[in-house]
Structure 1
């Protein structure tokens, strides 16, 4: 880097450390937050981050930091850095980083590695080809879009260019920069210019859009909305209302199209609504316009019932997506940014709407169950009250952990705005949202609420981190003393007497021991007051709810999918 240090305005190079050059590069790339766990081998980078404009947040576990980075990206739209030390620091973070890759987040992972002269000599937590596999962790493969080990400062310009190029892409980008400890402290003699790269979103040709419009006007069509369409909510609604098309959403896409809209027929796939299958059976469209979803197992279960008579017009930014889930179905593949495509498509439709047909569309059933004095709490009652107090009564981001938690939330909560609901139905790692609620609340600058099971809450939470930085995260724990999705699911598969039980924990005591606040709920009549208390609290807050374990969660489609794959007794 060049600094003006002379009185005659001539520039002379001033030596700075590699750590300082990297942190400056991250600042130029728009990084605002760095999450991680400290360690001696990463100390030069860690110290430099601590004294930069980047806000460093010290987590309690590397996986928690990586999960939190994923959701912090979705809440803020800015790339997040995750840092760890050598050895187990790296391996602990991998599950969270795989999640970032599956979710299409933008995360830069910076780790330490063993200095070259010490490799192969049993250094403490040695990180080298002698002790850890290189392929997949330190190379660009299925986990990292870009990965490299920085062996000298002269490589920095190329690293900067690669990171800038990756972050400029419209979809996700997960990178790994491994830096030997001695290199972090080395001096950089050459200048490192800022790299500003832009990437023009992929767009379909005018001819392709006209052909899509022609195909869709040949008969009735439905719109299947996925998470990749989240920036096109307004355009999709205009298209639906202009054409009268029925709209269904994947579990991750809840809220992109309003769930109270008369043209909304329901959520598809895991914990989805029976109204979708009723629509496909009774009002089968000629074609379905698929927008920004891979149509993977949890979105479709690859059900033949979801294939319209003339197949799909499938729009996605990734050209590998269309046709993959349903290889036998007729598919017109369009590589394009969804928002750009829908805006162009809108111009090619006359204004028309068949209101009588809209009124006859199947709709998800809504049944209100009134609270009682009963104990334990029925999950359906909890979700109804969460709808009123949290979904409708606040702007909080709501996220649901893998297991029965996300089954109940997907099926029963209703959203009318995009980007308010988060769920992972791809990688689906337990511990994702019990930790990432901290990152979401931090960068959302408001409440974030995680619906989690007791198993996930015991596995890996970051309540202490939230306390440390006064982050207004809320955990709603479905405490039933078991891995209840495994319990209910294994019984549906024909397996009996499986070991699924957990000693019932008191999560309020646990929260208070770390400096947070909380309340335990044992009766349905106490739910609303507890939720209201959590939402007005300025501290991290845990609502520990004793849940009725006998209420069967809407997980049947997942179990039937497993049985069809041979997982049965």
Structure 2
């Protein structure tokens, strides 16, 4: 067997683990990682900023369910990726970031080396699920096995591996096959039977479905149908149970949804953390005390947070939902769909008047672009949709306006999503302020020839923050940065362009462009 360098062996081992795309910007501290990349089956995508690499990896992971992978240089490259890693941590998105680091003999010595940090791994370890340094070449397979074991067990999130420059060029004499994935915890039959007993006595059950259920739609829909229970979906759970007639695509922060939860006699919560930005968006403390509660989650630590469940089921959501459905013999009254429809109407009516027009606009966009995926930033249209938006299928609506809330997420994540599932066109919802955080990634979209319409809601500033400041009696300073001329930006990057100022014109412009390559549609309302 011909010896490979660590850089070459790393690429080969990633291929064996099913990695198809890597996002990264090469530099002298990662060049050796690229030695084997050109001859591999892995597609390399070059963002314009390492933060974009992380956000693209996030969007790719949300769509495919596989870890998004990024190669970044030591020091500034890794630090530029930190924001994206923190967003992934907040939203339970599997992400593997592989960085360089300086020669082993220099680490911690403050020798003024290029891109030097006092202790890079300690910094990342403060929030990554796992961070490890490859200390010698022969340990590469073991280090990767540990990284992928963390990515595949418990609550997903970012994992980091750093490789010193002198280790990258060392020979790897053997490459073992990847270790088999570790099985998730298996809930015992007793807990399942306790859950089924609660289900049998429930007359007004409700299902709460979050991002942890998006790859379990078939099993979730089957159980909800047997239970005849409305399915309330959080932001990251939108599109679940869409084909059942039971879905309620509305925020649990809305009064009508809270009232329905309080009035139910059983709540089954699947893959949801009961976080503030979903369940107490307005920070009023009004989320109700739940009745009997069954929680399903792959993470033991998550089951210990938030409302205390009557029954906690740890493991894979699809497997546990299927087991519950198999054990449950329904005595349906047929009232579930009527309850769901009534709650949908009440939730839609509960949307604040200031966002009512945006909710209607999003509904119309969903009709005209029925196959599209909506990937959002922190912007008015996204805030409205997070309150109420009826996505056509799971993973067709996600954004960074909840949880960590990183501005500038939308454009890059939309590119990652389009690469993860090329047959599904993407609408990136972003404001003029958020776009300027990641403006250059428009060039990446053109390079990669993705089907993305960048819908830029241009109100000439940070209007949401301006409104908040005025209502709080604060003089609105710093909230009106001048946006660039969007038409000139589109021309500079080679995008198709349209500028509109009415909802009807926007719907028409998006409908004409969706699925036809990269476009920028500017919606001026300021």
TM-score (norm 1): 0.83
Of 122, 125, 129, the residue aligned with 2:112 is 122
Q: Report SS of the residue matched to 2:344.
A: coil
Structure 1 residue 317: Cα displacement: 0.8
What is the 5 A alignment of 1:8-19?
A: 14-19=2-7
Q: Distance in 2 between matches of 1:523 and 1:344?
A: 50
What is the 5 A alignment of 1:39-188?
A: 39-118=27-106, 120-127=110-117, 131-137=118-124, 141-169=125-153, 171-188=155-172
Mapped pair 1:247 → 2:231: yes
Q: Distance in 2 between matches of 1:314 and 1:547?
A: 43
Mapped pair 1:338 → 2:317: yes
Structure 1 residue 200: Cα displacement: 2.2
Mapped pair 1:363 → 2:343: yes
Aligned residue number for residue 319 of structure 1: 300
Structure 1 runs not aligned, ≥5 long: 4-13, 369-376, 549-569
CA contact (8 A) 1:257 1:416 kept: no
Aligned residue number for residue 224 of structure 1: 208
Q: Distance in 2 between matches of 1:198 and 1:380?
A: 42
CA contact (8 A) 2:86 2:404 kept: yes
String of CA shifts for 1:360-381, please: whole Å, max 9, x gaps. Answer: 553233999xxxxxxxx96355
Structure 1 residue 15: Cα displacement: 2.5
Are residues 366 and 413 of structure 1, via their aligned partners in 2, closer, same or farther at CA, if it must alter by over 3 Å?
farther
Structure 1 residue 534: Cα displacement: 2.1
Mapped pair 1:419 → 2:419: no
String of CA shifts for 1:173-227, please: whole Å, max 9, x gaps. Answer: 5322211222212223x31212231222333222211111112333332211111
Are residues 165 and 367 of structure 1, via their aligned partners in 2, closer, same or farther at CA, if it must alter by over 3 Å?
closer
Structure 1 residue 491: Cα displacement: 3.7
Structure 1 residue 21: Cα displacement: 1.4
Q: Report SS of the residue matched to 2:511.
A: helix
Aligned residue number for residue 432 of structure 1: 409
Of 26, 49, 69, the residue aligned with 1:38 is 26
CA contact (8 A) 2:410 2:428 kept: yes
Q: Distance in 1 between matches of 2:336 and 2:344?
A: 16
Q: Report SS of the residue matched to 1:306.
A: coil
Mapped pair 1:537 → 2:516: yes
Q: Report SS of the residue matched to 2:343.
A: coil
CA contact (8 A) 2:257 2:347 kept: no
Q: Report SS of the residue matched to 2:274.
A: coil
Q: Report SS of the residue matched to 2:36.
A: helix
Aligned residue number for residue 208 of structure 1: 191
CA contact (8 A) 1:534 1:543 kept: no
Are residues 525 and 337 of structure 1, via their aligned partners in 2, closer, same or farther at CA, if it must alter by over 3 Å?
closer
TM-score (norm 2): 0.89
Q: Report SS of the residue matched to 2:327.
A: coil
Are residues 170 and 31 of structure 1, via their aligned partners in 2, closer, same or farther at CA, if it must alter by over 3 Å?
farther
Aligned residue number for residue 352 of structure 2: none
Higher Rg: 1
Q: Distance in 1 between matches of 2:360 and 2:409?
A: 25
Range with greater deviation from structure 2 (176-185 or 85-94): 176-185
CA contact (8 A) 1:288 1:313 kept: yes
String of CA shifts for 1:60-82, please: whole Å, max 9, x gaps. Answer: 00000011001112222333321
Q: Distance in 1 between matches of 2:7 and 2:207?
A: 49
Structure 1 residue 265: Cα displacement: 4.2
Are residues 21 and 399 of structure 1, via their aligned partners in 2, closer, same or farther at CA, if it must alter by over 3 Å?
same
Are residues 459 and 173 of structure 1, via their aligned partners in 2, closer, same or farther at CA, if it must alter by over 3 Å?
closer
Q: Distance in 2 between matches of 1:279 and 1:64?
A: 40
Q: Report SS of the residue matched to 1:224.
A: strand
Structure 1 residue 346: Cα displacement: 1.6
Are residues 185 and 109 of structure 1, via their aligned partners in 2, closer, same or farther at CA, if it must alter by over 3 Å?
same
Aligned residue number for residue 191 of structure 1: 174
Are residues 73 and 16 of structure 1, via their aligned partners in 2, closer, same or farther at CA, if it must alter by over 3 Å?
same
Aligned residue number for residue 386 of structure 2: 410
String of CA shifts for 1:326-381, please: whole Å, max 9, x gaps. Answer: 3xx5643221222222212123333322235652553233999xxxxxxxx96355
Aligned residue number for residue 463 of structure 2: 484
Query: What is the Cα-based RMSD across aligned positions, in Å?
Result: 2.6
Structure 1 residue 33: Cα displacement: 0.8
Q: Distance in 1 between matches of 2:472 and 2:310?
A: 34
CA contact (8 A) 1:255 1:416 kept: yes
Aligned residue number for residue 353 of structure 2: none
Count of residue pairs brought into register by the alignment: 509
Aligned residue number for residue 506 of structure 1: 485
Aligned residue number for residue 289 of structure 2: 307
String of CA shifts for 1:146-183, please: whole Å, max 9, x gaps. Answer: 22222321322321331342344364253222112222
Are residues 42 and 536 of structure 1, via their aligned partners in 2, closer, same or farther at CA, if it must alter by over 3 Å?
closer
